[in-house]
């Protein structure tokens, strides 16, 4: 099973003192390293904050471009990674390992298999 | 008059339903698909057994037919894609269907862990287990949960879809996660038992209590080393043993201290005591073990006159340290009335009252009414007993409280 792991976090509470940031970067480095070694997984990518988001909709041939993310909630999508796992419990382990699970939340979304219904 | 083949199919259905569903779904994680395949297999059996005779191993026969149905269904779904993986799976399934095992491995425990997985909505874990393991229909389950069969049906479909789509594992969790996950399984089963009590004033034998006891016995037999499973079964048996004494001939409510102990089911009490002893061999540790021990103390007091109230208070202290539940604090306050007197109990109750959840909790107001009465607070007693009556849906409890209020006014 392939799972998309979506990282949600409250952007306003991100950051900290230099010592905390150093620790956080080290944690992320280690996590990405582990992810890179795991078969079928792809290391995370970090997104610019939601303030950099633009949402596009086309309705009846007319395009609307709106400043901001698709849904304006306190916790925003901040990044993602893919993992390959036998089942949900394994995917949950990969969510627990992700540093963002300590300050945000990881949404686990199973990917519809190729040729799926 | 049902013929032998029909009776045989029904017997196999009752005894083997969960075993067959668990076995069929273990590989595909498709509970709904397994149930469908099994339903077709039962229909086939009812058509062919009266004609050809009941097979020597009816379970294996049903499994073989159900697996063919399952394979057909997979094939129908996959013709569009015909990926290599799917062809392999079909080949596997056909090979497996050709030789049904004499003894079908018991995967029911794994299925229960899937149904009570934390990724399944909490309120749906009990209905899911009742359907997947016992084969209860959405109508039967809906009746106990006071929602429409259509809504229950939809929620069951959604929950089974989640198991399949998110690939919730069919497995007994590893040692490290076992106790936490087992809590969810036990909670789901105990909730079924609670539904059994709550039904229609529990005057007649409730349908779900028996099913819950059956499931609890199953878990105890499949996980013989888990003390909490035994503790929960013991707790259920203590309650079950007293059921015949909880109501008078006219359906009136009879509190524990006034019950006729001759009406208690001694076999169930003996079994509960034995289970509790086994569970406590390593020291009482879990919630269910402690609650069962409290019931054991009540039973001993009523049967032998032993002074067990201090033990009850001590056990509630342990339970409160474990759960921090206001309901436990309430029960402890009531027990305190028997050891240190109503004044001390009233003080403890005032502490409990700070929890906002008590505002519409019927047992709180009933306890408050009785303690107010015992400490000479007549107005408080009148108010609390009236609120308790207003919060009760059970006619027997309401009329019991009505009598208490009347006695208060007359006295």
Query: With 50 as the cut, is the pLDDT of residue B201 above it?
Result: no
Which residue in the set A87, A108, A115 is minimally distant from B81, CB to CB? A115
- pLDDT per position as a tens digit, B86-129: 556 655 555 555 555 667 788 899 999 999 999 999 999 999 99
Q: Give per-residue pLDDT as tens, A35-73.
A: 988 888 887 788 898 888 999 999 999 999 999 899 888
pLDDT of residue B99: 56
pLDDT for the residue B86: 59
Residue of A nearest to B120 (CA): A88
**Position B303 pLDDT exceeds 50:** yes
For residue A45, give the nearest of A102, A100, A89, A114 by alpha carbon: A100
d(CA B127, CA B140): 10
Q: Do the Cβ atoms of B376 and B411 come closer than 8 Å?
A: no
Which neighbouring-strand residues pair with B124?
none
CA B53 to chain centroid, in Å, comes to 38
Q: Which residues of B touch A86 (CB under 8 A)?
A: 167, 169
Identify which of A87, A114, A117 has the shortest CB distance to residue B168: A87
Decide if B169 and A117 are in contact by the 8 Å CB cutoff.
Answer: no
pLDDT at B177 over 70: yes
Per-residue confidence (pLDDT) for residue B205, from 0 to 100: 43
Instruction: Tell if the pTM clears 0.90, that is, is over it.
Output: no
Q: Check: CB of residue B5 under 8 Å from CB of residue B50.
A: yes
pLDDT value of residue B89: 61
Using CB atoms, pick whichever of A85, A88, A115 lies closest to residue B119: A88
- Exposure class string for A83-109: b at 16+ Cβ within 10 A, else e: bbbebbbebbebbeebbbbeebebebe
Q: Work out the pLDDT band at B200, boundaries 50, 70, 90.
A: very low
CB contact under 8 A, A89 and B173: yes
Interchain contact B171–A (C-beta under 8 A)? yes
B169 with A1: Cβ contact below 8 A = no
pLDDT-derived band at B168 (thresholds 50, 70, 90) equals: very high
Q: Which of B166, B171, B172, B177 to mutate to test the interface with A (most CBs of A within 10 A)?
A: B166
Closest-CA distance, B283 to chain A, in angstroms, reads 31
């Amino acid at each position: 099973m392939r799972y998309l792991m979506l990282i949600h976090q409250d952007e306003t509470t991100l950051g900290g003192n230099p010592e905390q940031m150093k620790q956080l970067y080290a944690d992320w480095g280690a996590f990405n390293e582990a992810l890179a070694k795991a078969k079928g997984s792809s290391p995370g990518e970090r997104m610019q904050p939601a303030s950099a988001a633009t949402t596009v909709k086309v309705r009846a041939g007319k395009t609307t471009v709106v400043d901001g993310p698709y849904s304006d909630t306190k916790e925003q999508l901040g990044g993602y990674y893919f993992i390959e796992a036998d089942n949900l419990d394994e995917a949950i382990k990969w969510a627990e390992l992700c540093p963002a699970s300590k300050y945000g939340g990881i949404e686990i979304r199973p990917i519809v298999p190729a040729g799926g219904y | 008059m049902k013929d032998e083949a029909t009776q045989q199919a029904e017997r196999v259905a009752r005894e083997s339903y969960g075993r067959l569903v668990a076995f069929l779904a273990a590989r595909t994680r498709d509970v709904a698909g397994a149930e469908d395949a099994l339903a077709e297999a039962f229909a086939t059996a009812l058509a062919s057994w009266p004609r050809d005779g009941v097979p020597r191993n009816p379970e294996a026969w049903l499994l073989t037919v159900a697996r063919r149905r399952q394979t057909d269904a997979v094939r129908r779904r996959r013709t569009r894609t015909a990926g290599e993986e799917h062809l392999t799976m079909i080949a596997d399934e056909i090979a497996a269907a050709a030789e049904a095992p004499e003894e079908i491995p018991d995967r029911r425990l794994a299925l229960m862990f899937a149904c009570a997985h934390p990724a399944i909505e909490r309120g749906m874990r009990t209905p899911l287990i009742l359907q997947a393991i016992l084969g209860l229909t959405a109508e039967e389950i809906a009746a106990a949960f006071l929602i429409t069969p259509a809504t229950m049906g939809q929620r069951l479909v959604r929950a089974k879809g989640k198991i399949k789509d998110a690939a919730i594992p069919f497995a007994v969790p590893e040692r490290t996660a076992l106790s936490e996950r087992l809590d969810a399984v036990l909670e789901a089963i105990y909730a079924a038992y609670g539904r059994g009590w709550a039904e229609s004033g529990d005057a007649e034998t409730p349908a779900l209590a028996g099913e819950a006891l059956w499931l609890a016995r199953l878990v105890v037999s499949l996980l013989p080393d888990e003390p909490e499973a035994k503790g929960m079964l013991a707790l259920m048996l203590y309650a079950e043993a007293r059921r015949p004494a909880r109501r008078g001939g006219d359906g009136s409510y009879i509190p524990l201290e006034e019950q006729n102990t001759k009406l208690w089911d001694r076999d169930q009490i003996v079994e509960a005591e034995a289970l509790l002893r086994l569970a406590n061999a390593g020291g009482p540790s879990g919630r269910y073990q402690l609650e069962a021990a409290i019931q054991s103390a009540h039973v001993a007091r009523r049967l032998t006159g032993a002074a067990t109230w201090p033990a009850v208070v001590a056990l509630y202290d342990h339970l409160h340290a474990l759960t921090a539940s206001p309901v436990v604090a309430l029960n402890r306050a009531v027990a305190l009335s028997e050891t240190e007197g109503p004044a001390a109990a009233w003080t403890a109750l005032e502490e409990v009252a700070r929890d906002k959840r008590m505002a519409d909790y019927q047992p709180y107001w009933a306890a408050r009414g009785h303690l107010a009465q015992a400490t000479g607070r007549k107005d408080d007693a009148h108010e609390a007993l009236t609120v308790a009556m207003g919060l009760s849906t059970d006619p027997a409890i309401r009329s019991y409280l009505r009598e208490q209020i009347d006695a208060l006014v007359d006295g």
